[in-house]
A and B are shown apart, each in its own frame.
Chain A
Amino acid sequence: MKETPLSNCERRFLLRAIEEKKRLDGRQTYDYRNIKISFGTDYGCCIVELGKTRVLGQVSCELVSPKLNRATEGILFFNLELSQMAAPAFEPGRQSDLLVKLNRLLERCLRNSKCIDTESLCVVAGEKVWQIRVDLHLLNHDGNIIDAASIAAIVALCHFRRPDVSVQGDEVTLYTPEERDPVPLSIHHMPICVSFAFFQQGTYLLVDPNEREERVMDGLLVIAMNKHREICTIQSSGGIMLLKDQVLRCSKIAGVKVAEITELIQKALENDQKVRHRKEGGKFGFAESIANQRITAFKMEKAPIDTSDVGEKAEEIIAEAEPPSEVVSNPVLWTPGTAQIGEGIENSWGDLEDSEKEDEDEGGSEEAVILDSVKMDAGVISNIGSQDAPIVLSDSEEEEMIILEPDKNPKKIRTQTISVKQEKAASKKPMKKRKKKRAVN
């Protein structure tokens, strides 16, 4: 589905509003939208909501052999997916420019800033290291994907616990969560991206642009920073010229925003820890993050189902139903390694190349049914007959159906059909008819 284009009047309206220092959602220039962080039941799973933009983050780990040039370092892998759920314009399975750009920026923000201690992920140097995989799914696109994704990634990484391992000699033991508590990753700092949108060649600036604002902006400046005010990545796109003062001002704003967001993340993580480790089994997970007072949400407690009469009902149905047709399932061994059970009807699943073959098949299956009834009645005698048939089947390269008929000489017929084909290659219909007749006979 194509994206709905933005009309000229919408564009003008948005730009006029920005010139008047107004935003459609009532925010001030430097305001972020509300950030909500919720955690799943398993470790390393979180949903980050930035206004209406929503990103699901999931961290998983795996023991792999390290890269040759980095024998003592674990591997970090980031993958942001723009699911079609987020916006109708995102096509599944296509690497759009936006997606490549966002993935690259995430990698620079989180891997190249060395926020995760990759050396602590090494189990046996040169042999086994942990590969940490961060999957991010965009669930709803309302602008500023990169900020939401970077928050989701770092929150998921902070929340994640990997299984404990021990090395004794050459033996590596992996402990299940029941045996030993899983261990958290060692995280040095938390880089967070802050986006600035520029309008009218850099005259106007907005923090955290929403989808509409993103569509009318001229350029974007993304600054990734941690709470120690260290810049991890800075990227300007859209081809706007920025003055030195502007960039410095942006980095100051970013510092403030990052400090706020980091505090929020730490609070959310602490809350989750508290609930998770409460003795009386506190409730956590996404079920708890659904606001019960909302009119669109509804919950139901565990409901018992009466299944006492299930047995009787089943018996009743089986008693009422016709008994299943008794299938003669004497396995017949044709050749070593090839046996047959069932009725021997040709399977109709294969790709038939043309209508001619289809017709042949139809004729064939009819025959097979007839043959089968004969088999049922005749018992032992037909067994011999049907034993003849498959031998011919293996002979025939064209998979003609005629061979199922035991009392005809198949080879003769085949030569006939071939000659017919040659003669009547141009007109297929008459030939088909003839074949059908033959089959019925």
Chain B
Amino acid sequence: MEGAMQVDTQIRTEPGAEAGPGGPGCSLRHFACEQNLLSRPDGSASFLQGDTSVLAGVYGPAEVKISKEIFNKATLEVLLRPKTGLPGVAEKSRERLIRNTCEAVVLGALHPRTSITVVLQVISDAGSLLACCLNAACMALVDAGVPMRALFCGVTCALDADGNLVLDPTVKQEKEARAVLTFALDSVEWKLLMSTTKGLYTNAELQQCLAAAQAASQQVFRFFRESLQRRYSKS
């Protein structure tokens, strides 16, 4: 796969690693999620990470165009719409990264010759946009009831000039950063599904970021779990 590296890491993370007082910048911004807020799509979710906000809608499994039909699995399409102007190369590249991540977890073989369409709309970008897109896509897929092997989440890390690690950076932090790394991790083994990076970093720093992303992903998955628990509770 050209766009998304699918690398299995040998990292073992202890599920009991509780969030303690981390260093400065090592915290996730406040999260909010609302599911099923649109009436037309089969599943929808709006995901907020701090001031970054993405709205996702999922249609599927539904009828597929003959030209896009795949005979043994579902055709997964991801559309990312920017807030202003028309979608460009940056959006296309992100679409591809998200699509490859979704394809890794969605059990498309259960719905051959159908289409699953994920439409993402950027509502506001205040940093860690790709991670937020991934989280919104995951929650919308869950809402649509698309069968998945695991959940996935996106975590962005930034390394500043002094080599300090910042999780879930804001736009300002991203601009000042030496490197920005975004990972997609699955919820079963916390393994890497996708990684995309920008900037310079060493081998050790990559592993550090990955370990930090895994620690952060547990928090994100806990958030997913709690919001779904609330969703399917009776009160």
Contact = CB atoms under 8 A, between A and B. Distances in A.
B48 interface: yes
A305 interface: yes
Interface in B187-222: 203-205, 207-208, 210-212, 215-216, 219
Contacts of A301: 30
Interface stretch (B36-44, B96-104, B105-113, B176-184): B36-44
Contacts of A302: 27-30
Contacts of B216: 305
Given A45-B124, A297-B32, A300-B31, A306 B21 contact: yes
A40 B123 contact: yes
28 contacts: A1-B62, A2-B63, A83-B81, A83-B121, A84-B59, A85-B38, A85-B40, A135-B85, A137-B83, A139-B55, A140-B39, A140-B41, A141-B40, A286-B123, A294-B34, A296-B36, A298-B32, A300-B32, A303-B28, A305-B27, A305-B167, A308-B23, A309-B211, A310-B211, A311-B208, A313-B211, A314-B210, A317-B211
Interface stretch (A50-58, A240-248, A269-277): A50-58
Interface residues of B, number: 68
Nearest to B166: A307
A304 B27 contact: yes
Contacts of A295: 230-231, 233, 235
Given A304-B22, A304-B27, A135 B83 contact: yes
Contacts of B29: 302
Interface of B: 9-11, 17-23, 26-41, 44, 46, 48, 51, 53, 55, 57, 59, 62-63, 79, 81, 83-85, 115, 117, 119, 121, 123-124, 126, 165, 167, 203-205, 207-208, 210-212, 215-216, 219, 223, 226-227, 230-231, 233, 235
Interface string A279-321: 0000001110010001111111111111111110111011011
A58 B124 CA distance: 10
A311 B163 CA distance: 12
Q: Closest 9 CB pairs between A and B?
A: A298-B227, A314-B207, A85-B57, A85-B119, A306-B20, A297-B34, A314-B208, A304-B27, A140-B38
Contact of A300 (B35, B46, B212, B223): B223
Interface of A: 1-2, 40-42, 45, 47, 52, 54, 56, 58, 60, 81, 83-88, 92, 133, 135, 137, 139-142, 285-287, 290, 294-311, 313-315, 317-318, 320-321, 324
A285 to B, nearest CB: 6
B39 A52 contact: yes
Contacts of A286: 46, 48, 53, 123-124
- Tell me the dominant secondary structure on chain B's binding face: mixed
A304 B216 CA distance: 9
A199 to B, nearest CB: 23
Contacts of B165: 307, 310
Contact of A142 (B10, B33, B40, B123): B40
Nearest to A311: B208
B67 to A, nearest CB: 13
Contacts of B30: 287, 299-302
Contacts of A52: 38-39
Contacts of A47: 123
Contacts of B27: 302-305
Contacts of A309: 17, 211
A133 B85 CA distance: 9
A286 B31 CA distance: 12
